[in-house]
Amino acid sequence: MNGTTHGEIFSLFNEISKNYNRKDQYFDILYDATSSFSIKKTPSSEDITVDTKTSGIVARTFIGKWEEIAINNDSDTAIINKRLPKVKNKGDTIAEFESWKINKELKPKINPLDISVEEKVERIREIFNYVKNSDERIINTQVLYAETFTERIFVNNEGCELRQSIPRVRFAVLPIAKEESVVDYDYFIKSGEMGYEIMDLVNNQALDKAVQNSLDMLKAELPPSGKHTIILDPSMAGLIAHESFGHGLEADQVLRDRSYLKQHLNKKVASEICTIYDTPSYENKLGSYFFDDEGIKAGNNLLVKDGILRSFIYDRRSASEFDAKPQGNGRRESFAHPVNPRMTNTYFGPGDYSLEEMISETQKGAILIHGYFGMEDPLGGGMQCTSKKAFLIENGHKTKILKATALSGAVLDLLKNIDAVSKDAVTLDGGTCGKGSEDLIPVTSGGVYLRANNALISPG
C-alpha cells in the first residue's frame, strides 16, 4: 500500500468491511504506519538510523471471541476475507459504540522533516561535546534524539472512518560521573507530541544542571531501610498512579477477575485529598491522540475523586461487558501487537499544600526524586517504584543526597496514608509502558508533590 493515499485506504477498508455485517459480527481494520529518525551518540559510536516507513494492517472480528490477522503492507489484503470467519447472529455479543469520522494531522511548531539530517547531527554533537567537556569527572556521555511519526487509519462496520497522524519527539542526555571507585549518574529527558522545537528546551542551563545532578550522585549515600514519612516528586507520584494503581484499573484485568481493585469500585481507595485521572485527550502529551486503536474518541477518565474509586480503564470489549462508556484506552504497540485497555496520561490532581510546607512539617523522612521505574501487580496490589535519587529530610530540612530508592508495600496503604497534596500545576513525564513484559506504548505520568506517612523505603 505504499504510495496509496489515505482516501484510497479508506475505500479499500470500507470494501473489506462490507463483507462483515454488523448484525452478525463486529469487524474493524486498522492501518498503522510509522516513520522515524534517531541519533544516539556515545563516546565510541554515533548511530544514525532512519525508518522511512514501516507499515502494516490488522483486521479483526468479534464472534464471542476475537479473531485477528496482522499482515505486512506488501501482503495481499484478500487474505483478510479468507482468514476471518463470517458468522450469523453474533453481532450482539459486543456493544455498539458511537460511529464518527475524523481526519486530523497534528502539526508541530517546527516540523522535524524541515530540519536537515546534517543540522540535527551537528546539534547532537555539540551537546555531546558540551557535556563531555564540562567536568573531568564525566567519564561517559550518552545523548539520544528520536522523532517518530505515526499514522493510523481506522474503519469498522459501525461506520467509523478515522485517520490521525501524530509526531512524537524524545531527547535524553545521560552524563556518567566517576570519582575514585564511585560511578553514578542522573539524566535529563524531554518528550512530547511536538516537533524539533523540543531542542529549544535543551539549553546550556539544562545541560549544566544535568551534569551537576550526575556529579552530585557521586556523594550520594545508600538510603535508610524501613518505614518513613516520604514526599514524592511529581514523577514518582506519576509512577504510583500508573504502575502501582493504574494497571489494576485496566478493565481486562477486572474481566479476568485478576484485579485487587474489582471490589473497590465506588469505595474509598485513597486519602480523601486524592484525585487521579487518565486522560487520552490531554493536549500534546506523549500518551495523547484523537482516537484509540479501536476507533473510540479520546476522552478523560476520572479514576479517583476525593479518595473514592470512580472508574476503571476500558477498551471496547470490557466497556461492552461492564456497560461502561469507553474513553479511548484501547491501544496497540503496532499492527503486529494486540489491543488491550491501556493508560495514556495518568496523574494526581493538585491539592492545597506547598512543597515547602510539606518539608518543613517533616521531622524525619525522605523526598524521592526522579521516578525511574516501577512494576505492576494488578492482582496483589503490591508496589515497586524506584526513584533515581532521594534526599534525607531531617528536622524540616532537606539534607543528604541518597542513591536510588525503592518504595514498596501495599499501594492502597500508601494512597490512604497520603496527608498532603501540593497545589502546583500538574507536570507529566514521558515514558514507555509495557503490559506484563511487552506491548510497549508511549505514555506520560505525573501530577504534583505528595506526602505519605509510614511508607517502606530501601536501597533501590
- Residue 330 as a binder of another protein (CB under 8 A): the answer is no
- Residue 404 as a binder of another protein (CB under 8 A): the answer is yes
**Which of 14, 21, 24, 68 forms a contact with another protein (CB under 8 A)?**
68
- Residue 333 as a binder of another protein (CB under 8 A): the answer is no
Instruction: Report the nearest approach of another protein to the CB of residue 426 (Å).
Output: 27
Site for another protein in 23-52 (CB under 8 A): 36, 38, 40, 42-52
Instruction: Report the nearest approach of another protein to the CB of residue 413 (Å).
Output: 10
Cα distance between residue 313 and residue 311, in whole Å? 7
Closest CB to another protein among 56 and 238? 56
- Residue 185 as a binder of another protein (CB under 8 A): the answer is yes
Contact region with another protein (CB under 8 A), list: 87-95, 281-289, 347-355, 401-409: 401-409
**Which of 6, 69, 113, 216 forms a contact with another protein (CB under 8 A)?**
69
Cell numbers representing residue 151 in the block: 499514522
Cα distance between residue 70 and residue 60, in whole Å? 9
Instruction: Report the nearest approach of another protein to the CB of residue 273 (Å).
Output: 25
**Which of 235, 301, 320, 408 forms a contact with another protein (CB under 8 A)?**
408
Closest of 140, 165, 146 to residue 34, by C-alpha: 165
Q: In terms of C-beta density within 10 A (0-12 exposed, 13-18 middle, 19 or more buried), how is residue 321 classed?
A: middle
Residue 86 and residue 19 in contact, taking contact as beta carbons nearer than 8 Å:
yes
Contact region with another protein (CB under 8 A), list: 66-74, 86-94, 96-104, 161-169: 66-74
Can you say how many angstroms the Cα of residue 128 is from the centroid of all Cα atoms in its chain?
Answer: 27
Report the side by side order of strands in the sheet with 301-305.
308-309, 301-305, 276-278, 345-348, 438-447, 427-435
**Which of 78, 136, 266, 436 forms a contact with another protein (CB under 8 A)?**
436
Cell numbers representing residue 256 in the block: 479476568
**Which of 21, 71, 264, 398 forms a contact with another protein (CB under 8 A)?**
71
Cα distance between residue 349 and residue 385, in whole Å? 19
Closest CB to another protein among 184 and 292? 184
Closest of 287, 231, 297 to residue 453, by C-alpha: 231
Cα distance between residue 254 and residue 155, in whole Å? 28
**Which of 25, 55, 156, 422 forms a contact with another protein (CB under 8 A)?**
55
Instruction: Report the nearest approach of another protein to the CB of residue 239 (Å).
Output: 12
Contact region with another protein (CB under 8 A), list: 150-158, 189-197, 361-369, 400-408: 400-408
Q: How many residues bind another protein (CB under 8 A)?
A: 76
Closest CB to another protein among 288 and 386? 386
- Residue 373 as a binder of another protein (CB under 8 A): the answer is yes
Site for another protein in 242-301 (CB under 8 A): 252-253, 255-258, 260
Position 292, amino acid: D
Residue 164 and residue 289 in contact, taking contact as beta carbons nearer than 8 Å:
yes
- Residue 118 as a binder of another protein (CB under 8 A): the answer is yes
Cell numbers representing residue 385 in the block: 517504584
- Residue 405 as a binder of another protein (CB under 8 A): the answer is yes
Closest of 175, 171, 207 to residue 37, by C-alpha: 171
Site for another protein in 200-229 (CB under 8 A): 225-226
Instruction: Report the nearest approach of another protein to the CB of residue 398 (Å).
Output: 21
Cell numbers representing residue 18 in the block: 462490507
- Residue 136 as a binder of another protein (CB under 8 A): the answer is no
**Which of 67, 158, 361, 419 forms a contact with another protein (CB under 8 A)?**
67
Beta bridge partners of 308: 268, 305
Closest CB to another protein among 367 and 406? 406
- Rounded to the nearest 10 degrees, what angle do helices 204-217 and 117-132 cross at? 40
Angle (CA) 256-348-275 rounded to 5° is 75
**Which of 5, 74, 180, 395 forms a contact with another protein (CB under 8 A)?**
74
- The per-residue DSSP string of 198-239 comes to GGGG--HHHHHHHHHHHHHHTTPBPPPPEEEEEEE-HHHHHH
Closest CB to another protein among 49 and 284? 49
Residue with cell 493538585: 350
